[in-house]
Structure 1
C-alpha cells in the first residue's frame, strides 16, 4: 500500500457514501449483472445500489439481488419504479440510471462536486454505443438540446439532491416523458448542471427501429406531449402498454 492510497480510498468512500444509484429495469437479464458488477467498488465504499424491477419475465431480479443494496419489484412504469427506489434511499444524492447506460469511472466525484458547488440537480453528456452511422450526431444533438433547453433525458443519468427530489414530490407517475416532466419542475428551481463527462448508453432502440424512424418518432412524441397529449396515449403509440391498474 502506498502512502497516498489510504487517504485516496477514504476520500472515495466519503464520496460514495453520499450517493444512491436507482436503476429501474424490465427484462434486463442479459445485461443487468454486467451493469451491477461495474458498480461493486462504489457499493463496497458505501454507495447505495437500488434496483427496482417492473415485472420482468426473465431472471433479472434474481440476478440483481446479490449485487445490489436493495433489489425488489414494484408496479411497472419507469416513474413508479424510480420513485419506489428513491423512497428506499438513505444517502443524500439520487442518481437515476437506466439499465442500458454506463457511468464514467469518476462519475460520483463529479456529481458530488456539482452539488457542493450549489447545484441541486444535473445530468451528464451522453454517447451512444452502436454500429449505426449517425449515432454520434444524435448524441451531440441530444447534448446541445439539453444545454439549450435545460431539459435532461433519462439516458443522461439525471442526478438530484434527495431533499429537493422529495420536496417536489418525485417523478410524476406517468408512463412516458417522466424525465421531461421532472426536468421542467426542477428547471423552475434552477438550471441543471450539465456535466461534460459522458455516460454511455446503448444504441439498441435506434438499431431495432432504424435511425431516422426513431428520431422522427421521438420528436413527434415530444411535440405532441408539449401540445398537451396524454402520456398514456403517447406510450401506447410508442408501443408501450402502461400498467394502469
Structure 2
C-alpha cells in the first residue's frame, strides 16, 4: 500500500455530519483521512458509515487532545493535518504543506476564515490574522499541520481538557519556524451566532489570557464547555452483554431495567453523568439508552482487567477530562436515593479525599475521590466480605481523609431482587415493573 503524504485527523464530538463534510474537503490523492469520534457519537457514526467510506473511523474518550493523539497513532503519512469537524479546507490546501516543507518549516497553519457574511466575521478574521502575524499563535480551528517526526518528538498533544492547541503550538515553535499559510480554512459561524459575536470572541480571548497567566486549565475547560465540577459515573456492562449470573438470570431486559433505574439517580443531580461501559463494541447501544436526557452521559469505555483496574482507569479518565470530583457507582443500584450521591459530593466539597458508601455484603456501593489513588485498587480480593474495611484502612494509613456515608444495598442475588420488589422505595420503577410482570 502506498504511503500517504498527508494524514488528516478529524476529532469529532456531536458533529458526525460535519466530520463527513470536512473529510470531503480533504479527500484527494496521497491523503488518508481518520476521524476519531467520542464514544457518545457511536450511534451517529454507524448511521453515517455508508456515506463516509473515505473515512477510517476510530473511537476515543472525549477530549480533543486525546482524540487527536489516538488518530495520529493510527496514521501513516509523512505529514499530519489536524482539522476540526466544523472546518473546511481550501481547494488547493496541499500546496500550503508542500510550501512549508520547501521552506524548511516542520509545522504550519492556514489562514482563518468564518463561513458568514457581514462586518463582524471579517473583523474577527482580521484580528486572528494580526494575532498570528505578531505572536505566531494559531489555534486549532485554522487547521494545524506538522511533520510526523516533530509530532513524535513533542509526544503529540498534551491530554488536557482545553488549550491543547495553544500548548502544542507553543512547544512546536521552539523547534521550528511555523509556516503561515495564505489560503483559508473556513470554519462554521454557529458558535458565534449561538453565543453572540462579541461575547464569544471576548470569552475566547479571556480564556487564552488566563491560561497563559497560569490559570488551572480544568477550571477554564468547565467555563468553556459548561462542565460541572463533579462527575457521577456508572460502571456498567451493556444490557445486551451477558452478566449477573448470580441473579439466576441473564435477561437483557432485567439488566437494562437495573441500569436505567441506576442512571436516573446519576442524571438528575447538578453534576455531569458518565457511563463507563463494556464491551467497547456496545458504544452505539449505550449511546441510545438515554435519548431524552437533558445532558446525555459522557461515555467512556472500560479497560481490560479486574474490577480494580477498571475502576482506577475510570477515575483517571474523568480527572483527565477536567473534573475535580468523581463519584463512581455500579449499575445494580435501582433504588439508590439521590441523597446518597448528594451526601458524597458534599463530603468531597468539604475536604474529604475519599468517600465510601458501605454495602450490605461487606463491599461498597459508592466511591468518591478528588484525585486518583492506585493503592485503593491493587491487591484487593474483590467480592470478599471485607472490601470496604480493607479499602478504608488502607486509605487512612496513607493519610487520606475518609468520609463514610450511610449504607445501601446493590442487587447481587435473587434475594436482593426480592428486596427491590417488596421495598417501598421511590426509585426502581422499571425493575419493579419487570419483576411484577415476570
TM-score, length of structure 1 as denominator length? 0.86
1:198-242 Cα offsets, whole Å, 9 max, x none, are: 111111111000011111111111111011111111010112439
Q: How far 1:147 moved relative to its partner?
A: 1.7
| Residue segments in structure 1 that go unaligned for 5+ positions in a row | 1-13
Q: Look up the SS of the partner of 1:61 in the other structure.
A: helix
Q: How far 1:195 moved relative to its partner?
A: 0.7
Contact 1:29 1:58 in 2 (8 A): no
Q: Look up the SS of the partner of 1:182 in the other structure.
A: helix
Q: Look up the SS of the partner of 2:39 in the other structure.
A: coil
1:46 to 4, 10, 30: 30
* Aligned mates of 1:162, 1:240 — CA distance in 2: 34
Mark the CA change 1:91 to 1:140 in structure 2 (over 3 Å): closer, same or farther: same
* Aligned mates of 1:134, 1:243 — CA distance in 2: 37
Contact 1:75 1:243 in 2 (8 A): no
| Residue segments in structure 2 that go unaligned for 5+ positions in a row | 228-316, 321-438
Map 1:144-155 onto structure 2 (within 5 A).
144-155=130-141
Contact 1:150 1:191 in 2 (8 A): no
Q: CA RMSD in A?
A: 2.0
2:8 corresponding residue in structure 1: 21
1:78 corresponding residue in structure 2: 64
1:135-161 Cα offsets, whole Å, 9 max, x none, are: 111011111101211111011100000
Question: Is 1:37 matched with 2:24?
Answer: yes
Q: Look up the SS of the partner of 1:106 in the other structure.
A: coil
Worse-superposed segment, 26-35 or 61-70: 61-70
Question: Is 1:244 matched with 2:319?
Answer: yes
Q: How far 1:55 moved relative to its partner?
A: 2.4
Contact 1:124 1:199 in 2 (8 A): yes
User: After TM superposition, what 4+ stretches of structure 1 lie above 4 angstroms from structure 2?
Assistant: none
1:98 to 74, 81, 84: 84
* Aligned mates of 2:143, 2:82 — CA distance in 1: 6
* Aligned mates of 1:153, 1:216 — CA distance in 2: 15
1:160 corresponding residue in structure 2: 146
1:68-89 Cα offsets, whole Å, 9 max, x none, are: 4421110110000001111111
Q: How far 1:132 moved relative to its partner?
A: 5.7
1:201 to 180, 187, 199: 187
Contact 2:22 2:89 in 1 (8 A): no
Q: How far 1:110 moved relative to its partner?
A: 2.0
Aligned residues between the structures: 228
Question: Is 1:222 matched with 2:208?
Answer: yes
Q: How far 1:56 moved relative to its partner?
A: 3.3
* Aligned mates of 1:166, 1:85 — CA distance in 2: 13
Q: Which has the higher contact order (CA 8 A, sep 6+)?
A: 1
Contact 2:96 2:110 in 1 (8 A): no
Q: Look up the SS of the partner of 1:174 in the other structure.
A: coil
* Structure with bigger gyration radius: 2
* Aligned mates of 2:45, 2:175 — CA distance in 1: 36
2:163 corresponding residue in structure 1: 177
* Aligned mates of 1:31, 1:58 — CA distance in 2: 15
* Aligned mates of 2:87, 2:96 — CA distance in 1: 17
